């Protein structure tokens, strides 16, 4: 033990005998060494720095010296300093050229940091894989895992046979209202299942006759009616297979829906439901709220049911909190089942039970997989549409939500012309129902 500790207990090393000034030089250098440096450096020529240490360890090499935390931290800060303030910037800071150089370097660093931040934000927003969050309206949306087929759910799709005496629009859709599918109500006509068993969601649906084994991709364009110009443009430009969802508070709602149906688009209504941040985000005076009684919520639901005729069902307008409540979704599901209407879950909540509640009630449902214009830019919209195509090929079914932005309408129009060549059928949402498995 004494031999092991001996190298560390020596305060000074005797100078090596040599001729001339070399011995004095070595003595001066050794005298200037502190305890930390002894035996580790500062040797003059002719000295073997490992000689005594090797002897003290019995001929074995000494253990390597470990660098302390403070030394590592200092080295990191030194490297950061070299990056932020490189050597070519040091010197007289009063000259014009030096000031310009410092300014240029500062701008470069600022631009580089801004680029990194932009790439980080963009990469996160562009990745909308299953389970990632997107935004519909003002609500957060967590997309479900890719929908799987539900073989036990055998709900049909497409339009029912037209009964005798019923009339068709030039677009091929059933003219509304069909007297057999409405009942009188003080608020207005309310949809009902006909005496012959016909259901409004089937009767007013757009016909679909593509092969049963072809992948189906549906697009539901929501928030329509508030801007009549954009709504008219969408009805005129987009292919009839794209389904429309109208805001129930829209002006001239009857006329706008008639116009869309005359162009061949099947129609849904958006059902105002409570979001988590209500009333900061307020879907309107007839919003279904978890704080209200069942009777009051049914009264509000009745108002939406009687707004217009010719629609096939509902999709939620906001509603993250409401669609997360099994108790409150249960009587909504029961009502829609009794009225022969479908429901498309926009998945504005990560734990939405809307589709599951509809299924348990024996009703008709579909589930949204993507919002294609969370960021209304051409590249983002095209990327989302490609994701929907891959999902449709992989599972047989995909449902995309969109909003009536001008850029969205233009991209949807261009994309719809290419779908036929991709072995995918652009289908109305009524042709998608009961083919996905709710969580």
The residue ranges of every structural domain in the chain are 2-56, 69-126, 133-431
pLDDT over 60 (residue 38): no
The pLDDT tens digits of the residues spanning 190-224 come to 999 999 999 999 999 999 999 989 999 999 999 99
At 399, phi and psi to the nearest 5? Answer: -130, 125
Instruction: Determine the pLDDT at residue 92.
Output: 58
Place of tokens 């509902």: 314
pLDDT over 50 (residue 141): no
CATH number 3.20.20.370 given to 133-431? yes
d(CA 99, CA 256): 64
The pLDDT tens digits of the residues spanning 255-287 come to 999 999 999 999 999 999 999 999 999 999 999
The pTM of this model reads 0.67
Q: What is the dihedral of CA 312, 318, 320, 325, to 10 degrees?
A: -50
Q: What is the mean pLDDT of the chain?
A: 80
The pLDDT tens digits of the residues spanning 340-396 come to 999 999 999 989 999 999 999 999 999 999 999 999 999 999 999 999 999 999 999
Instruction: Determine the pLDDT at residue 91.
Output: 60
d(CA 288, CA 329): 10
Place of tokens 């030096």: 98
Q: How far is CA 235 from CA 218, 260, 266, 268, in A?
A: 16, 5, 11, 14
- Label each residue of the chain as H, E or C: CHHHHHHHHCCCCCCCCCCCHHHHHHHHHHHCCCCCCCCCCCCCCCCCCCHHHHHHCCCCCCCCCCCCHHHHHHHHHHHHHHHHCCHHHCCCCCCHHHHHHHHHHHHHHHHHHHHHHHHHHHHHHHCCCCCCEEEECCEEEECCCCCCCCCCCCCCCCCCCCCCCCCECCCCCECCCCHHHEECCCCCCEECCCCCCCCHHHHCCCCCCCCCCCCEEEEEEEEECCCHHHHHHHHHHCCCCCEEEECCCCCCHHHHHHHHHHCCCCEEEEEEECCCCCCCCCCCCCCECCCCCHHHHHHHHHHHHCCCCCCCEEEEEECCCHHHCHHHHHHHHHHHHHHCCEEEECCCCCCCCHHHHHHHCCCEEEECCEECCCCCCHHHHHHHHHHHHHHHHHHCEEEEEECCCHHHHHHHHHHHCCHHHHCCEECCHHHCCCCCCCC
- Inter-residue contact 315 to 222 (CB < 8 Å): yes
d(CA 61, CA 225): 84
d(CA 311, CA 200): 8
pLDDT over 60 (residue 39): no
- Inter-residue contact 33 to 44 (CB < 8 Å): no
Instruction: Determine the pLDDT at residue 124.
Output: 38
The pLDDT tens digits of the residues spanning 61-120 come to 455 556 677 777 777 777 777 766 666 666 655 665 767 777 777 888 788 888 776 666
Q: How far is CA 192 from CA 203, 325, 428, in A?
A: 11, 26, 22
Instruction: Determine the pLDDT at residue 65.
Output: 57
d(CA 434, CA 53): 82
Q: Give me 123's structure tokens.
A: 């990469």
Of 172, 113, 136, nearest in space to 346 by CA? 136
């Amino acid at each position: 033990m004494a031999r092991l500790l001996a190298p560390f207990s020596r305060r000074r090393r005797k100078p090596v005998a040599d001729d001339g000034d070399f011995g004095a030089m070595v003595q001066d250098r050794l005298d200037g060494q502190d305890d930390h440096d002894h035996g580790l450096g500062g040797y003059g020529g002719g000295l073997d720095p490992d000689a005594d240490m090797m002897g003290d360890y019995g001929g074995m090499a000494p253990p390597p010296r470990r660098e302390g935390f403070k030394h590592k931290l200092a080295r990191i800060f030194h490297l950061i300093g070299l990056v932020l303030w490189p050597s070519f910037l040091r010197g007289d800071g009063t000259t014009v050229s030096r000031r310009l150089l410092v300014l240029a370097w500062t701008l470069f660093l600022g631009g580089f940091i801004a680029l990194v931040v932009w790439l980080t934000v963009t990469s996160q927003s562009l990745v909308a894989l299953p389970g990632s969050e997107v935004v519909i309206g003002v609500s957060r949306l967590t997309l479900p895992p890719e929908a799987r087929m539900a073989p036990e759910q055998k709900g049909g799709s497409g339009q029912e046979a037209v009964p005798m005496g019923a009339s068709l629009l030039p677009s091929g859709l059933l003219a509304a209202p069909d007297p057999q599918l409405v009942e009188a109500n003080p608020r207005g006509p309310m949809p009902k299942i006909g005496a012959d068993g016909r259901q409004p969601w089937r009767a007013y649906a757009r016909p679909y006759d593509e092969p049963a084994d072809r992948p189906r991709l549906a697009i539901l364009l929501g928030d329509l009616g508030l801007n009549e110009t954009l709504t008219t443009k969408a009805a005129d430009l987009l292919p009839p297979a794209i389904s429309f969802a109208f805001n129930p508070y829209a002006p001239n709602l009857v006329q706008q829906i008639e116009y869309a149906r005359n162009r061949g688009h099947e129609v849904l209504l958006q059902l105002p439901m409570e979001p988590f941040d209500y009333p900061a985000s307020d879907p309107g005076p007839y919003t279904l709220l978890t704080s209200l009684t069942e009777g009051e919520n049914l009264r509000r639901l009745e108002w939406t049911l009687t707004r217009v005729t010719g629609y096939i069902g509902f999709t939620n307008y906001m509603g993250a909190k409401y669609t997360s409540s099994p108790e409150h979704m249960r009587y909504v599901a029961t009502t829609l089942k009794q009225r022969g209407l479908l429901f498309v879950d926009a998945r504005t909540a990560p734990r939405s039970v809307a589709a599951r509640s509809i299924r348990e009630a024996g009703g008709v449902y579909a589930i949204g997989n993507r919002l294609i214009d969370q960021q209304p830019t051409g590249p983002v919209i095209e990327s989302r549409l490609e994701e929907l195509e891959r999902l449709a090929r992989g599972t047989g079914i995909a449902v995309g939500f969109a909003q009536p932005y001008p850029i969205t309408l233009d991209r949807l129009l261009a994309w719809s012309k290419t779908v036929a060549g991709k072995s995918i059928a652009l289908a109305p949402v009524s042709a998608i129902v009961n083919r996905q498995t709710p969580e």
